[in-house]
Amino acid sequence: MHNHSLLIELEAAQELLSKVMADAKSDRNKSTDRELMLLDLRGENEYKEGHIPGAVNFPVSLLQDPDSDRGALPSLETLCERFTQLGIGNELPLILYDGSGLVPSAKMLWVLEWLGRSNVSILNGGFIAWSTAGLATETTTRAATPQPFTAHPTAAALASKEQVLAALGQDDVVIVDARKAEEFAGLLPTAARNGHIPGARNINWESHIKDLFDPTLKPLETLRSLYHAQGVTPDKEVIVYCRSGARSSHSYFVLRLLGYERVRNYSGSWLEWGNDTDTPIE
């Protein structure tokens, strides 16, 4: 069964946003950010050049600890403070979009799900689809009203190195490497040691979308077949990883969209695994 609520198509998003804006115009005391939040995960300069009307900017770089040498997430306290100031709160319907193949949006969705936040969807095709369709944009910088964000972390969405080690060789767990084939084979140096986690299946995240210039997802049945062909089935627990946990969040998103209930993102990914001389590699 597909989890369709995690994805919103262009026409549906346009219709929903038009309704919200129309309601706001008819009632001057009604604020659009009380009904729906549209979140632009692109950089600040890209946002200022033009964005979907009503969108608030949250560069995906804010999901990264600047002091980490492997792109780790900021502290839980920092994340909650940033989400509070942005006005995300815990209940408002949230639509995410970006201009980088949906990876930033997928990372945000994964973080929010890890922290217990639901009612989040990703715009299929992102800003590229919106602009290609010739839909309206604006340059007005939008500031959201702060809304308290309370985290309810769940272990179900996040995998640690120790948990990955414990999963090796387990029949009911499958590990998916979301990197390019050259990285998987160890031909492209990205850490002190190169290769992949033993037993991992290589399914490049880019195989989810038409291409980088049209990052619309392929049909869901095509994506389901892609994973089934590699033995990645809904009856198993799936752990996904890449180099730093960003691209693998795209795999997390797609698997959740396909209805997989047990999916975890190994956020440490290859930068942690490949730089640890005690972890096994192939």
Site of tokens 């890890």: 114
Phi, psi (rounded to 5 degrees) for 132: -65, -35
Q: What is the DSSP letter of 250?
A: H
- Asked if 44 and 57 touch (Cβ cutoff 8 Å), the reply is yes
Strands 37-40 and 56-57: parallel
Q: Is 242 a catalytic residue?
A: yes
Contacts of residue 265, defined as CB under 8 A and 6 or more positions apart, other chains included, come to 110, 114, 157, 158, 159, 239, 240, 241, 245, 248, 249, 251, 252
Amino acid identity, residue 185?
Answer: A
SS3 121: strand
Of 43, 37, 226, the C-alpha closest to 123 is 37
| Sign of the dihedral through C-alpha 96, 98, 103, 108 | negative
| Active-site position among 94, 109, 197, 242 | 242
Sequence-ordered strand ranges (E) for 64-213: 94-97, 120-123, 158-159, 173-177, 201-202, 209-211
SS3 44: helix
Angstrom distance (rounded) from CA 207 to CA 219: 11
- Asked if 220 and 76 touch (Cβ cutoff 8 Å), the reply is no
Catalytically active residues are: 242
